[in-house]
């Protein structure tokens, strides 16, 4: 047990030490990006709820639904960050593609994958289709903003 603790402490010192600034900022970006995704995701739905109308997904009494959606969004963002974000970051660094445009494009495309997987067999009606478009747009924007926030933190200084 002591050996494991010493190994974790040495890893943290190496990660936060002065010689590993790229890894340090990349790790901080990987922690911050899911939080940005959680903060970005509900904005279109809250705007639609504020305006009201037939596409309004929430009422004033649906706070528990909003909190559940934020928790699911956070878990999905962490999973996507680990499964897609780390390999993409390493690939971008390998091919020397550290442009914000690349991160924004890949973030938007990756943001479209979860709603597509969830809504593949969903019924399509006029209001269901419009709400699906809002979901796709908000997920793409969420992925793009999270990827750009990661890029702003992790880029080479």
pLDDT tens digits along 103-127: 999 999 988 888 888 777 766 666 6
For residues 28-38, average pLDDT: 84
User: Which range, of 50-54, 86-90, 111-115, 152-156, averages the lowest pLDDT?
Assistant: 50-54
* Nearest one of 85, 3, 96, 2 to 36, comparing CA atoms: 85
- For residue 13, being part of any structural domain is answered with no
* Nearest one of 136, 16, 150 to 82, comparing CA atoms: 150
- For residue 7, being part of any structural domain is answered with no
pLDDT confidence tier of residue 156, bands split at 50, 70 and 90? low
Task: Tell me: pLDDT of 146 over 70.
Answer: yes
Q: Could you list the residue range(s) of the whole structural domain that residue 97 is in?
A: 21-154
Q: What is the pTM of this model?
A: 0.71
CA 131 to CA 94: how far, in whole Å? 39
- For residue 78, being part of any structural domain is answered with yes
- For residue 73, being part of any structural domain is answered with yes
- For residue 41, being part of any structural domain is answered with yes
- For residue 83, being part of any structural domain is answered with yes
Angle at 18 between CA 16 and CA 23, to 5 degrees: 55
Domain count, the chain: 1
Query: Which tokens sit at 119?
Result: 């809504």
Burial grade of 124 (CB within 10 A; 0-12, 13-18, 19 or more): exposed
């Amino acid at each position: 047990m002591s050996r494991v603790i010493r190994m974790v402490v040495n890893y943290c010192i190496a990660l936060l030490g002065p010689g590993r600034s790229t890894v340090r900022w990349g790790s901080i970006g990987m922690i911050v990006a899911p939080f940005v995704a959680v903060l970005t995701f509900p904005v279109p739905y809250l705007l639609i709820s504020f305006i009201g109308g037939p596409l309004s997904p929430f009422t004033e009494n649906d706070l528990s639904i909003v909190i559940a959606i934020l928790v699911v969004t956070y878990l999905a963002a962490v999973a996507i960050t680990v499964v897609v974000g780390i390999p993409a970051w390493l690939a971008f660094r390998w091919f020397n593609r550290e442009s914000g445009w690349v991160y924004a494009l890949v973030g938007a495309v990756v943001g479209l994958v979860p709603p597509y997987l969830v809504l593949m067999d969903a019924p399509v009606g006029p209001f269901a289709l419009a709400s699906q478009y809002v979901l796709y747009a908000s997920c793409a924007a969420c992925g793009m903003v999270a990827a750009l926030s990661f890029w702003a933190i992790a880029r080479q200084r």
